[in-house]
Amino acid sequence: MKIFQKSIKLTQKKRGFHLITPEIMKAIDAEMNVQKGICHVFIRHTSASLTINENADPTVRKDFETFFNRAVKENAPDFMHDTEGPDDMPAHIKSSLLGSSVTIPIINGRLALGTWQGIYLAEHRARPHRREMLLSFIGSKR
């Protein structure tokens, strides 16, 4: 077993839940060539997060956004941290609720996600940001 790492930058995305499975899968291909093992995806930011959920119906992503915006409201009078605007503290809370990483097994060079599973980037800031992720592969090559 060996450890391989790669940093990737995603294109800017607006607030919402965005499927990023294809970007992760590209990193496993010829360059990494990991056949079996584990893929750990870590986002290097405190106002965006990662999660795994339904990848087929886009209304799931919209419902996630609706839920999080209702649960953690902007301009809440109790929040003091607003250095970067009214979405600053809500973005940090949402990020902490979902988390900064996901781990997926790799089988035969592919992510072993279920039929209806995909990896989401949850962008919690109103203004689009370019996000960086560190991918760590623990496994064996061909």
Query: What pLDDT score was predicted for residue 46?
Result: 96
Reported as a pLDDT band with limits 50, 70 and 90, residue 30 is low
DSSP state of 82: -
Convert the pLDDT of each residue in 46-84 to its tens digit: 999 999 999 999 999 999 999 999 999 998 888 889 888
Are the CB atoms for 24 and 111 separated by under 8 Å?
yes
Helix ranges (H only) for the chain are 21-28, 58-71, 88-98
Are the CB atoms for 104 and 113 separated by under 8 Å?
yes
Reported as a pLDDT band with limits 50, 70 and 90, residue 33 is confident
Domains of the chain and any CATH numbers: 2-141 (2.60.120.460)
Convert the pLDDT of each residue in 82-136 to its tens digit: 888 889 999 999 999 999 999 999 998 889 999 999 999 999 999 999 999 999 9
Residue 10 vs residue 4, higher pLDDT: 10
Are the CB atoms for 138 and 1 separated by under 8 Å?
yes
